[in-house]
Each structure stands twice: as C-alpha cells, then as structure tokens.
Structure 1
Amino acid sequence: MRFTMTKSLGMFMAAGLLAFSGMAQATALDQFKTFVASTKAARGEFVQTQVRKTPTSKVAAPASGTFLFARPGKFIWSYVKPYEQVLQADGDKLYIYDKDLNQVTVRKLGDALGSSPAAILFGSNDLDKNFTLSEAGTRDGIEWLKAVPKAKDSAFAQISIGLRDGQPVAMELNDAFGQASMLTFKKFEKNPPLAAQQFKFVMPKGADVFEG
C-alpha cells in the first residue's frame, strides 16, 4: 500500500535553517518562533518513515523527495521514491498529482491548512491561533516542541517539532488513530530566490481531473 497523504494536508512538511549566534542555547519554542518569523521561503529534501508500534509491526516503505515553500500557503511537496506524487498549492488551490495514474485531484485550499502540520511550516505566523505550543524536552541532542491542534476535528492528536541550532530537523506526527510517522529534513536552503510563477500548477497532458 502506498504511504500517501492525499486524505490530509497534515503530512506536508518543510524545514528551515537559521544561522546566528546564541540560537543553540534558546528553547525549542524560541527557536521555532524565530524560524517561522524569519523564514519566508525554503527548499530542501525530506525522508518520511512510519514509526513501529511494536518491534513486529508492519510499516510502509520509507518515502523521500523534495520540498519548496513560500509563506503563506504556497508549496510543492514532491515524492520521488518509492513512487512519484506531487502535492502543490498556489495559495488558493491544492493540486495532488499521481504520475502513475496520470490523475490530478484539485481542492480549495481555504482553511484546509488549519490545524495541520502544513500550517506550521507553510502557513502564516499566527501559530497560537490553531495550536497549543509547549516544550517537550531534549532527545538525542534535539530540542523538541509539542504542538497540539486546538480544533477538535483535527486529523492529528499531536505534532512534535525537533530543532537543533535553530533548524527544524524533524517532525513526528501522531494522528487521531494512534498511527505515527517521522519526517527528517536535509539540504535546506533558506529564503531562496523564487520566480513569480514558481507555484503555478501546470496540468499534465491527458490527466484525469477530479474536484475534491
């Protein structure tokens, strides 16, 4: 079964890098708020894995790809392995393209980001509106921040953001059904130059289009 995210915007993630002195001593919450305020756009690579509930639990194969985002609400989240899929938002609509099926699902972005993990990294700076944020301690040299969605109907029970030296390096996503997955980020570039039409979705030739 594909480890897909077409049912929720919750798994669309991105990360950013801050390079200034003193950040390593800051709390996870301070680091993250500074990151959000100073990072208007970013790009890099990600690896996504499911977290085993028990040593014998079956999990889907890891997924990997690239991301590009510009606040608020514009992003391109591209899976390369184990299959090709693109999730792209232009600030107004979300396009989900499955290359194997040559199928595009189009959804109104609107408030869909809401209390999803995507809102944290791709949305506006008003995190306190949709999340209750708190410190979650240190693990393996990473400072963790816990974000609990305020919306009762959120697909996620909890989102944890791991930061090191001002950079979000990981996100752990716990959904309402007890499933957990981990995203790790690398090769981050902060505030890269972007073309005006960078996030305009070009419909693939012959694709079947569905309005979600």
Structure 2
Amino acid sequence: MNMLRKTMHAVMMGAVISVPVMSYPVFAAAASEQQATAALVRQLSGIKSLSADFEQTTKVSDGSKPAQKKGLSAQHMNQTFKGVMKVARPGKFYWETTTPAKQTIVTTGKTVWIYDPDLQQAVRQQLDEQVANTPALLLSGNADQIMQSYRITQPDAAKTYYTLYPKRDGAFQSLTISFGVNKAPSLMILQDSLGQTTTVRFNNVKVNSAIAAATFNFTPPKGTDIIDQ
C-alpha cells in the first residue's frame, strides 16, 4: 500500500488517524454520554446525502519516531491531499483524492474498492464488521450502528462537536467531529496509537442534494490488476 493510499485510508478504513489534545474552556459544561449520543444522532439524522470538497493533512506528534516508521514517511507529513467526497445513506460512500495524485475509495455498503490509476491497481474488500467500525460509519451508516460502535462524548453541551471512542479495539483511538452550517460536518480530527494526527476539513458542503446512483458503482478499467483482500 503506497503512501497516498495510507493517508486516504485514514477516513475510510481508520488506518492512520489521530486526535490532538484539544483545550476547552473551564466553564464549558460537558453533556452526559446519553445526552451526547442523543445530540449526535439528531445531528446526523437529517443527513440523507452529502457531498463536499476535502483537504486532509497528517502529522506526527513530537518525539513519535516509531510512528514515522510504521505510518507515513517524513516527506508525506504535513502534505495536504485534496479531493471530493460523496455520501448517500445507507452505506454508500465515495472518496476521491485529486491532488497531489489520484486515488478513489468507493463502496455501496457491501464491497469496498480502492483504486489507484497510476498503479493500474484496484484492491477489493468485503465490508465486514471490522471495516464497518470506521470513521466512514458516521457519515454513511445509521444511528444504531454508531451507538453500538462508539462511546460518544460532547465536551461542551452548547457546541456541536463530539469526541468518539471505539468500544472495540481498532485502528484508531478517538475521533472528533465538528458540525457547521446546515448541520453539516465541517471538520474531522482522528488519533491513533502511533502519534499520528489526521485532520480533514470539508468545504462547499451540500446536504441532501441529488447524487447519481452510478457514483457508487465501480468497474475496474480494462487492464487493472485486481487484488482481493
């Protein structure tokens, strides 16, 4: 798996994700776990489809040399990847990086394709329980799955940002998601045990706009090397 794929995998598969320590005002009143869960479910329930441009950057915490060896190499730290994301519930997800190189992740809820046109290679995976328990679940899954998979916190009950912790062991430790106008996600920050922080910012967000069904159907171009995992 090349460096770009590892970075893209952060959101879809939870491969290289981390969250920095965030500072909250001492007067902020945190919601209870039950209140936070209900608030996040309300926040997501109105989203039937979503499209946005994204910018994604991965950094390594100071002193985390082992993480650099296991994760992205030093030259890929602080590099920004740009592209487009499209989501349709239930379970449909499209993620395409356009800069600095092209790569696509797409699923209809059953099979995940990871396509690298430069390598003429497509990885095919079944969307099993492990894959389903990833950050993409927030945007393309359902409320019941989210509650089953995460412990949900809301550091400030008056603000629409949440930090989630997986209930089962996985590739990441925590995920923070923040919502802006139209109740649409504006920022995701993810953390793993390797000291790597991936920040994804969403721009030009459109909620519940029509997305062609064909967007989520992937057929490898002729001559593509298909790898089943």
Q: TM-score, normalised by structure 1?
A: 0.81
Q: Distance in 1 between matches of 2:193 and 2:87?
A: 26
- Larger relative CO (CA 8 A, sep 6+): 1 or 2? 2
The alpha carbon displacement at 1:38 in A equals 0.9
More strand, by proportion: 1
- After superposition, residues 33-52 of structure 1 pair within 5 angstroms as 33-52=41-60
Letter in 1 for 2:207: K
Q: Contact conserved, 1:77 with 1:86, CA < 8 A, in 2?
A: yes
More moved, 58-67 vs 190-199: 190-199
Aligned to 2:152: 133
Q: What is the CA–CA distance in structure 2 between the aligned matches of 1:143 and 1:198, rounded to whole Å?
A: 30
Could you tell me which residue of structure 2 aligns to residue 4 of structure 1? 5
Among residues 87, 106, 116, which one is paired with 1:88 in the alignment? 106
Which structure's residues are more often helix, by fraction? 2
Q: Report the secondary structure of 1:107's partner residue.
A: strand
Q: Determine the structure 2 residue equivalent to 1:156.
A: 172
SS at match of 1:186: strand
- 1:124 is displaced (CA, Å) by 1.7
TM-superposition CA deviations, 1:77-110 (whole Å, max 9, x none): 0000111000010121000000110100100013
Residue 129 (structure 1) shift: 0.5
> 3-state SS of the aligned residue for 1:35?
helix
- SS in structure 1 opposite 2:214? coil
SS at match of 1:120: helix
What CA RMSD, in Å, does the superposition of the two structures yield over aligned residues? 2.8
- Aligned residue number for residue 200 of structure 1: 217
Please tell me whether the aligned partners of residues 84 and 96 of structure 2 are also in contact (alpha carbons under 8 angstroms).
yes
DSSP 3-state at the match of 2:188: strand
* Structure 2: gaps (5+ residues): 17-30, 66-73
Q: Secondary structure at the match of 2:93?
A: strand
Q: Is the 8 A contact 1:172 1:182 kept in 2?
A: yes
Deviation readout 1:116-158 (Å, 9 max, x if unpaired): 11111121222111000011349xxx74211000012x10100
Q: How far does the alpha carbon of each residue in 1:22-79 deviate from its partner, in whole angstroms, 9 at most, with x for none? A: xxxxx89465322311111111110001135239x94141111001111222111000
In structure 2, what is the Cα distance between the partners aligned to 1:52 and 1:110? Answer: 29
Between the two proteins, what is the percent identity of the paired residues? 25
How do residues 105-184 of structure 1 correspond to structure 2 at under 5 angstroms?
105-126=123-144, 127-137=146-156, 143-152=160-169, 154-165=170-181, 166-184=183-201
Q: 1:112 Cα deviation (Å)?
A: 3.7
Q: By how many angstroms is 1:195 displaced?
A: 3.0
- TM-score (norm: length of structure 2): 0.75
| Aligned-residue offset at 1:208 | 0.5
1:209 counterpart residue number: 226
Most deviating of 163-172 and 94-103: 163-172
Partners of 2:118 and 2:124 in 1: how far apart?
A: 17
Instruction: After superposing the two structures, state which structure 1 stretch, 79-88 or 29-38, moved more.
Output: 29-38
Moved more, 112-121 or 92-101: 112-121
**1:187 corresponding residue in structure 2:** 204
Seen in structure 2, the aligned counterparts of structure 1 residues 66 and 113 have a Cα distance that, compared at 3 Å, is same
**Aligned residues of 2:172 and 2:192 also touching (Cα < 8 A):** yes
Query: Greater shift after overlay, 174-183 or 86-95?
Result: 174-183
How many residue pairs align between the two structures? 195
